[in-house]
Homo-oligomer: A and B are copies of this chain.
Amino acid sequence: MSEAVSTLEGWYALHDFRQIDWTGWKSLAADERKSAIDELLTQTSIWGQSEDDKQGSSAFYVIIGHKADLLFVHLRPTLEELSQVETQFNKSKLAEFTSPDYSYLSVVELSNYVSKPDVDPETDPYIQGRLKPTLPKNKHVCFYPMNKKREGNDNWYMLPMEERREMMRSHGMIGRSYAGRVTQLITGSVGLDDWEWGVSLFSDDPLVFKKLVYEMRFDEASARFGEFGSFLVGNRLSEEDLINYLTV
């Protein structure tokens, strides 16, 4: 009988992808555009306050290609707060010129496949820091959702715990060999969104996204059991970058 691995959960995460209606935005009077940007900056400053208060973290990115223009990532302690952040943006002036083409709801997750015996995760500062993280400031982001396959003989959820643990250990070792070059944020979404996990990678060198994911694809955990959704890649925007981006 297989059994579920226990997991630890932290903050809820909303990846909120938006397409910009440049034609509408450009047709807006300059002072209305300015006031829309000011309104956005008021929101980003509220988001920053949550981060300063250790009550969440937010970051924004320009996405490359047709799938989206902007990505807002929000981490918050509760679904109520996530919903409020989303709704406040939806009611803003700028939102009139964006459409919500994609999003992902999940919760920061640490798996217990590799756990330490003498640590109380509820109080351990390292674990708490990973469950309630501040989003890194790296130049690039890569987001993709994934499942573990359940097809014929390749059924992750029918494997014995020990076999899964061994594959995850090997998988983790690949990840560790990229330490310092990439930060990985795993968010669980079983029961929350259409895939089982979201993966957010942060790096100053986007080639690392390709190298890491490609190397893992030859690892049995991915090769036999990984199912992947859309990959979305972007560049981090500071508030100043965001203003420049919206300047037309």
> Chain A interface (Cβ within 8 Å of chain B)?
2-4, 7, 9, 12, 14, 16-17, 20, 22-23, 26, 62, 64-67, 69, 79-80, 82-83, 86-87, 90-91, 95-96, 100-105, 107, 139-140, 142, 144, 150-155, 157-158, 188-194, 196, 201, 206-207, 209-215, 217-218, 220, 222-224, 226, 229-231, 233-235, 245, 248
Shortest Cβ gap from A20 to chain B (Å): 8
Bound-state CA distance A82–B196 (Å) is 31
Chain B residues, Cβ within 8 Å of A155? 223-224
**Pair B82/A218 contact, Cβ less than 8 Å:** no
Chain B residues, Cβ within 8 Å of A91? 22, 26, 248
Bound-state CA distance A159–B191 (Å) is 27
**Pair B65/A104 contact, Cβ less than 8 Å:** yes
Since A79-B140, A152-B153 are in contact, a sample of 20 more A-B pairs with Cβ atoms closer than 8 Å, ordered by chain A residue number, is A2-B218, A4-B218, A9-B207, A9-B210, A16-B65, A22-B90, A83-B234, A83-B235, A107-B210, A144-B191, A150-B224, A151-B151, A157-B222, A158-B220, A188-B214, A189-B210, A190-B213, A192-B210, A192-B233, A194-B229
Chain B residues, Cβ within 8 Å of A248? 91
**Pair A214/B191 contact, Cβ less than 8 Å:** yes
Indicate which residue in B79, B142, B158, B230 contacts A64 across the interface (CB closer than 8 Å): B79
Contacts A22-B91, A83-B64; A7 near B192 (Cβ below 8 A): no
Instruction: Say how many copies of this protein the assembly contains.
Output: 5
**Pair A206/B79 contact, Cβ less than 8 Å:** yes
Shortest Cβ gap from A243 to chain B (Å): 14
| Chain B minimum-CB-distance residue to A152 | B152
Shortest Cβ gap from A91 to chain B (Å): 5
Chain B residues, Cβ within 8 Å of A142? 191-192
Contacts A191-B213, A214-B190; A87 near B105 (Cβ below 8 A): no
Bound-state CA distance A223–B157 (Å) is 5
Bound-state CA distance A88–B192 (Å) is 31
> Which 10 residue pairs of A and B lie closest in terms of their CB atoms, listed nearest first?
A191-B213, A157-B223, A191-B209, A65-B103, A66-B100, A66-B103, A191-B210, A190-B214, A23-B96, A4-B218
